[in-house]
């Protein structure tokens, strides 16, 4: 194996493992134990991991580099189709058109437990990629840098903005407590 390949292999493994660990810790604080354990396991599958190694840079998602190279990211398509904490997972056909040909893709509102994991995922991703420059405002800044315009259900977008503003103002621990409180209120779960 080439030394650069080994370095990319180790770097990518360390990056996704650090991210998974941060999400797991956040999910545990929020009461999402199972989701914390199984979060992003598909990143270790050959379809995602090998692409991650090939396009590893350490400062951003390798999926973006694959997308620049091919016009799409096969690893991302694999990932988002298996992980319910991505809003892209929740895009489906609306079959209620008057004519059969009127089916269109529409965003569906995310169930709260996956929405909560998405918030935690954004915190962890910002920490991994921003490093020492991370602040509790980083996920909100990323949201405003363009993600605000993506095809996301209006309620999911509204709630994501609300939670990221809350995070920026009150910090991580209070945000996890808010998520825990909402989980109890919505699902009657006891932690």
- CA pair distance 8, 106, nearest whole angstrom: 37
Model pLDDT for residues 160-186, shown as the tens digit of each residue: 999 999 999 999 999 999 999 988 787
Among residues 72, 41, 42, 38, the alpha carbon closest in space to that of 55 is found at 72
As for how many domains the chain has, the answer is 1
Domain that holds residue 11: 3-187
Q: Which residues, listed in sequence order, are joined to residue 94 by a DSSP beta bridge?
A: 104
pTM: 0.90
pLDDT in tens, 118-168: 999 999 999 999 999 999 999 999 999 876 678 999 999 999 999 999 999
pLDDT tens-digit readout, 22-61? 999 999 999 999 999 999 999 999 999 999 999 999 888 9
Cα 107 from Cα 95, distance rounded (Å): 13
**Residue 37: per-residue pLDDT:** 97
Tokens of 186: 């919505």
3-state secondary structure of 95: coil
Written as six digits, the tokens of 35 are 């989701």
Q: Are 30 and 38 in contact (CB under 8 A)?
A: no
């Amino acid at each position: 194996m080439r030394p650069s390949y080994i370095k990319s292999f180790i770097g990518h493994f360390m990056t996704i493992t650090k991210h998974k660990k941060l999400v797991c810790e956040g999910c545990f604080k929020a009461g999402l134990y199972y989701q914390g354990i199984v979060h992003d396991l598909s990143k270790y599958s050959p379809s995602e991991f090998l692409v991650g190694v090939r396009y590893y840079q350490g400062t951003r998602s390798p999926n973006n580099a694959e997308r620049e190279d091919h016009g799409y990211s096969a690893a991302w398509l694999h990932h988002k189709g298996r992980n319910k904490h991505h809003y892209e997972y929740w895009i489906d056909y609306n079959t209620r058109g008057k004519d059969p040909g009127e089916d269109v893709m529409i965003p569906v509102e995310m169930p709260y437990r996956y929405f909560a994991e998405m918030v935690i995922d954004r915190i962890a991703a910002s920490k991994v990629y921003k490093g020492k420059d991370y602040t509790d405002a980083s996920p909100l800044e990323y949201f405003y840098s363009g993600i605000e315009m993506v095809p996301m259900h209006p309620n999911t977008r509204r709630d994501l903005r609300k939670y990221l503003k809350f995070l920026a103002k009150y910090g991580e621990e209070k945000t996890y407590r808010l998520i825990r409180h909402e989980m109890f209120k919505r699902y009657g779960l006891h932690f």
